[in-house]
A and B are shown apart, each in its own frame.
Chain A
Amino acid sequence: MVIMTIMRKSLGQRAGRSTISILALACSIALLLVISHIHEAVRSYARQVSSGADLIVGAPSQPVHLVLYSLFRIGPPPPVIPWNIYKEIAALEDVEWAAPVSTNESHRGYTVTGSTSRYMETLQLKALNFIGASGSGTAFRNHRSAFIGASLAADYQPGETLTIANGFSPSLKDEYQTPFIIQGVLMETGTSLDSNILIPIEGLRKNRKAHGIKNDYLNFILIKLRYRHSLFKVQKVLKSTFNTPLEVVIPAFELEKLGHYQRMLNNVFMAMSFIIGLLSLMMMYFNLSAGFAERKQEVELLRMVGVRPWQLAGLTLAEPMLQILFALCSGVLIYKVSTLFLGGWIPVLSSIALPVEQLLWLLSLFLLGFLVACWPAWRMYGFSRRT
Chain B
Amino acid sequence: MTNVQAVAIQDLEQRIGDTEVLRIPELVIKAGETVCIQGGNGSGKTTLLRTLVGLVRSDSGEVLVLGNDMRTIGTSTLERFRADAIGFVFQHYRLVPYLSAFDNILLPCYFSPKRRCEAERKSGTAAEDAIRLIRKLSLKDPSRLSKNAAQYSAGQQQRFAIARALIGKPEMVLADEPASAMDSRGKKAVYQLLQDECRASGATLICTTHDENGVDGFDRYVDMDALNLARERENRWSL
Chain A contacts to B: CB under 8 angstroms: 2, 5-6, 9-10, 12-13, 297-298, 300-309, 385, 387
CA–CA, A4 to B90, complex, Å?
Answer: 24
Residue B28 lies at the interface, judged by CB distance under 8 Å to chain A: no
Known: A9-B98, A300-B90, A304-B55; 19 extra A-B contacts, CB below 8 A, are A2-B110, A297-B92, A297-B94, A298-B94, A300-B55, A301-B90, A301-B94, A301-B96, A302-B96, A302-B107, A304-B88, A305-B82, A305-B83, A305-B108, A305-B111, A306-B80, A306-B112, A308-B79, A387-B55
Q: Which of B82, B108, B111 has the most CB of A within 10 A?
A: B111
Residue B75 lies at the interface, judged by CB distance under 8 Å to chain A: yes
Say yes or no: B98 contacts A304, CB within 8 Å: no
Residues in A neighbouring B229, C-beta threshold 8 A: none
Q: Interface size on B (CB < 8 Å)?
A: 25
A-B contact pairs, 30 of them (CB 8 A): A2-B103, A2-B110, A2-B111, A5-B99, A6-B99, A9-B98, A9-B99, A13-B97, A298-B94, A298-B96, A300-B55, A300-B90, A301-B90, A301-B95, A302-B107, A304-B53, A304-B55, A304-B82, A304-B86, A305-B82, A305-B83, A305-B108, A305-B110, A306-B80, A306-B82, A306-B84, A306-B108, A307-B111, A308-B79, A309-B75
CA–CA, A305 to B95, complex, Å?
Answer: 12
Residues in B neighbouring A2, C-beta threshold 8 A: 103, 107, 110-111
Say yes or no: A305 contacts B107, CB within 8 Å: yes
Say yes or no: B79 contacts A306, CB within 8 Å: yes
CB-contacts of B55-72 with A (<8 A): 55
How far, in Å, is A121 (CB) from chain B's closest CB?
Answer: 65
Q: Which of B80, B84, B86, B98 has the most CB of A within 10 A?
A: B98
How far, in Å, is A297 (CB) from chain B's closest CB?
Answer: 6
CA–CA, A13 to B108, complex, Å?
Answer: 22
Q: Which of B79, B80, B112 has the most CB of A within 10 A?
A: B79
Residues in B neighbouring A9, C-beta threshold 8 A: 98-99
CA–CA, A387 to B95, complex, Å?
Answer: 17
CA–CA, A5 to B103, complex, Å?
Answer: 10
Out of B75, B88, B94, B108, which one reaches A385, CB within 8 Å? Answer: B75
Residues in B neighbouring A309, C-beta threshold 8 A: 75
- Cβ-closest chain A residue relative to B94: A301
- Cβ-closest chain B residue relative to A387: B55
Say yes or no: B111 contacts A6, CB within 8 Å: no
CA–CA, A387 to B90, complex, Å?
Answer: 14
CA–CA, A300 to B82, complex, Å?
Answer: 12
Say yes or no: B112 contacts A305, CB within 8 Å: yes
Known: A2-B103, A305-B111, A306-B108. A10 touches B79 (CB 8 A): no
CA–CA, A5 to B80, complex, Å?
Answer: 22
Say yes or no: A10 contacts B83, CB within 8 Å: no
Residues in A neighbouring B83, C-beta threshold 8 A: 304-306
CA–CA, A307 to B76, complex, Å?
Answer: 11
Residues in B neighbouring A308, C-beta threshold 8 A: 79
How far, in Å, is B53 (CB) from chain A's closest CB?
Answer: 7
CB-contacts of B125-181 with A (<8 A): 164
